[in-house]
């Protein structure tokens, strides 16, 4: 993610909605990079823009590892709901893992409502491996055992309460198991679990636009098709299932088919690796969709 100059940004008529930003893994709203991006978004749209942390200067970063995905969403929501400038609704812009805060907020709360959701390189469909560790790539002999071990340990009540990243780990060899359906936080959001939450779907389809940006050469999100609602075929770490062929789309488990058929989903792609996007690209998406 390149640090950016704001000099080229032309002011436009104020966007109708303010914007909330959610940072990625290992980052913080208090870091200079996120401050610059937040300012760029606000200057571009001519409206209030804020990066919402889930902790203080230190814990905003560590909570992205050692606080559960659901708990991060709950803190994120409490801070949004306490900000009077967001009371009438807002756009949500996520970077990498931060998109799970945007997605989780939509499912669990959406009050005040998210108007438009811009997901930049977000693992919204989950991940099946560690960053830069493709089980079928050059490091397969190392990465595959790690993925297998992670899968064995991931879907218990205890493990789902330890690490944020485990909560969106979607092992294609285990998605049919009782353990995944019972304990995975991602499974609950997807309505793939043992219980169906109608509110998650109702809130999801209320969003006006979903803009899903995929990094063509992403080495962090595996598979990078997750950034546009795809995933691996059940039982495979190689065969990709595109969004419209996924079970959660064909059975409309959480509203994905509904919003697509309503013309609310838009796909964009960047040419490089994870979070390698330019200031011009970001401004272009904001002008185009917000």
The mean per-residue pLDDT over the stretch 279-288 comes to 97
Lowest mean pLDDT among 115-119, 128-132, 193-197: 128-132
Residue 167 has pLDDT above 90, yes or no: yes
**Residue 135 has what pLDDT?**
59
**Residue 144 has what pLDDT?**
64
User: CB atoms < 10 A from the CB of 55, how many?
Assistant: 17
Residue 142 has pLDDT above 80, yes or no: no
**Residue 84 has what pLDDT?**
98
For the chain, what is the radius of gyration of the CA atoms? Answer: 18
Average pLDDT of the chain, as a whole number: 90
CB–CB of 90/270 below 8 Å?
Answer: no
Residue 14 has pLDDT above 80, yes or no: no
Q: Which residues are catalytic?
A: 96, 218, 274
CB–CB of 240/226 below 8 Å?
Answer: no
Split at pLDDT 50, 70, 90, the class of 3 is very low
**Residue 178 has what pLDDT?**
94
Q: Tell me the HSE value of 105 on the side-chain side, using a 13 A CA sphere.
A: 34
Q: How far is Cα 146 from Cα 166, in angstroms, rounded to an integer?
A: 13
210: left (phi over 0), alpha (psi -120 to 50) or beta: beta
Residue 229 has pLDDT above 70, yes or no: yes
**Residue 132 has what pLDDT?**
61
pLDDT one-digit tens code per residue, 23-72: 999 999 999 999 999 999 999 999 999 999 999 988 999 999 899 999 99
The mean per-residue pLDDT over the stretch 247-271 comes to 98
CB–CB of 49/41 below 8 Å?
Answer: yes
Q: How far is Cα 37 from Cα 277, in angstroms, rounded to an integer?
A: 12
The mean per-residue pLDDT over the stretch 242-259 comes to 98
Q: Which residue has the higher pLDDT, 167 or 142?
A: 167
Whole-structure pTM value: 0.90
Split at pLDDT 50, 70, 90, the class of 277 is very high
Q: How far is Cα 92 from Cα 51, in angstroms, rounded to an integer?
A: 10
CB–CB of 112/89 below 8 Å?
Answer: yes
Domains of the chain (ranges; CATH) run: 19-128+197-289 (3.40.50.1820)
Split at pLDDT 50, 70, 90, the class of 2 is very low
Task: Report which of 186, 185, 178 is spatially closest to residue 229, judged by C-alpha positions.
Answer: 186
Q: How far is Cα 248 from Cα 245, in angstroms, rounded to an integer?
A: 8
Contacts of 56 (CB under 8 A, 6+ apart): none
Record the tokens describing residue 209, joined without a space. Answer: 């636009």
């Amino acid at each position: 993610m390149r640090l950016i100059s704001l000099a080229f940004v032309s002011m436009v008529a104020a966007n109708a909605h303010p914007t909330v930003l959610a940072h990625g893994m290992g980052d913080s709203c208090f870091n200079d990079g996120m401050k610059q991006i937040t300012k760029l978004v606000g200057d571009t749209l001519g409206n209030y823009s804020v990066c919402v942390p889930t902790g203080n200067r230190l814990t905003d970063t560590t909570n992205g590892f050692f606080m559960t995905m659901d708990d991060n969403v709950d803190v994120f929501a409490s801070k949004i709901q306490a900000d009077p400038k967001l009371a009438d609704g807002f756009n949500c812009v996520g970077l990498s893992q931060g998109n799970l805060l945007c997605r989780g907020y939509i499912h669990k709360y959406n009050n005040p409502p998210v108007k438009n959701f811009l997901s930049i390189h977000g693992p919204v469909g989950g991940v099946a491996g560690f960053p830069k560790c493709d089980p079928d790539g050059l490091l397969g002999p190392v990465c595959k055992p790690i993925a297998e071990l992670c899968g064995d340990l991931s879907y218990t009540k205890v493990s789902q309460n330890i690490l944020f990243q485990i909560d969106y780990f979607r092992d294609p060899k285990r998605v049919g198991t009782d353990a995944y359906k019972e304990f995975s936080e991602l499974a609950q959001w997807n309505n793939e679990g043992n219980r169906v939450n109608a509110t998650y779907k109702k809130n999801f389809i209320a969003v006006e636009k979903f803009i899903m940006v995929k990094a063509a050469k992403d080495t962090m999100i595996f598979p990078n098709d997750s950034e546009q609602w795809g995933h691996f075929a059940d039982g495979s770490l190689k065969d990709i299932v595109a969004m419209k062929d996924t079970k959660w789309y064909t059975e409309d488990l959480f509203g994905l088919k509904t919003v697509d058929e309503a013309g609310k989903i838009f796909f964009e792609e960047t040419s490089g690796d994870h979070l390698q996007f330019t200031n011009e690209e970001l401004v272009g998406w904001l002008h185009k969709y917000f």
